[in-house]
Amino acid sequence: MLRAKNDNLRLASFCREYLRHRDKADVHFKLAKALESTDKPDEARAVLEEALRKEPEDVLCSAALAILLLRKDGPAELKRAGEVLDRTEASLQKRLKAKPDSTDWDKQAKELHLVRVVYAALAGEYDAVHTEMAWFDGDRGNDERMQKLREILGPRLSLPAVPGVRLLSPRPIAN
């Protein structure tokens, strides 16, 4: 464990230096993950917020920021996480309409929907939890992650433990 923490400290140091040469969202994201792994979530949140000031449409940084906010477990953080997710989803939908043939959208939409499941559960939006989880039915690439969410949330939300069981129709990402 100590070695992993030291490795993440070195990674954070490298990322800070690399940001001087390449100030992009993906580098900020890596720095934030390294900081989070060294028990510095507030610094990680600041790094992600800086990245989103420069590249407000970055889905990965937005999802990571929403997760950090949800971990703070307060009403202000919950509200802010919802705002981040709403803004990111609107941006993703706009970009999807502008460039519908891109293969990148599906992966980004999945990441966003996974965070949306957790947000909806914490916000008490149980119908939204069912809807968001149904969005993943039949997606073999996320079976393990969705099964874990079902195990965590299921007893509280009466979610089926069997993947592939639809509760509501999935919400499309773009309309």
**What are the pLDDT digits (tens) for 86-101?**
999 888 888 878 777 7
CA distance 169 to 172: 9
Q: Which of 9-13, 20-24, 63-67, 134-138 has the lowest mean pLDDT?
A: 134-138
Helix H or strand E encompassing 43? helix 41-54
The answer to pTM > 0.85 is: no
3 state SS for 53-92 = HHCCCCHHHHHHHHHHHHHHCCHHHHHHHHHHHHHHHHHH
Name the range with the highest mean pLDDT among 42-51, 117-126, 139-148: 42-51
